[in-house]
Amino acid sequence: MVKQTKTKKVQSADEVPNPVIPEAVLEEQLTWSPGEGAVSFVVTRGGLRVSDKDYPSADSERAISERNFWNRVATKYPDGTKLEIVRYDKKKHRIW
């Protein structure tokens, strides 16, 4: 006796609904990049960025306290590098 196989019929409820997104929203998202035009500052030691934090101004209280921390580290382990709070440059100060 041969076993008969039944074929399953797909109903419309099994389809995945795709949301309709207007093209204007997608174009807006592609042209805008976060942080565009915003000026930020980072703490550097010998021209190299020391942390992943960035600050809105060079005289920010947190930026100064981070520079003071790295200054204490540099005095304990001197290597002749200079600590500075500089303007963020996306090529020099990128985070990997």
Residue by residue, pLDDT tens for the chain (96 residues) are 677 888 777 666 666 666 665 555 554 455 555 555 678 999 999 999 999 999 999 999 999 999 999 999 999 999 989 999 999 998 898 887
- At 55, list the tokens: 């600050």
Give dist(CA 17, CA 77) in Å, integer: 61
pLDDT for res 21 = 58
Evaluate whether residue 63 is within a structural domain. yes
Evaluate whether residue 25 is within a structural domain. no
Q: Can you give the residue range of the structural domain that contains 79?
A: 41-87
How many independent structural domains does the chain possess? 1
Evaluate whether residue 29 is within a structural domain. no
Evaluate whether residue 71 is within a structural domain. yes
One-letter amino acid identity for 19? Answer: P
Evaluate whether residue 2 is within a structural domain. no
Q: The whole model's pTM is what? A: 0.59
Q: What would you measure as the largest C-alpha separation in the chain, in angstroms?
A: 90
Evaluate whether residue 69 is within a structural domain. yes
Sheet of 83-87: strand order equals: 48-49, 41-45, 83-87
3-class DSSP assignment, residue 86:
strand
Evaluate whether residue 5 is within a structural domain. no
Evaluate whether residue 13 is within a structural domain. no
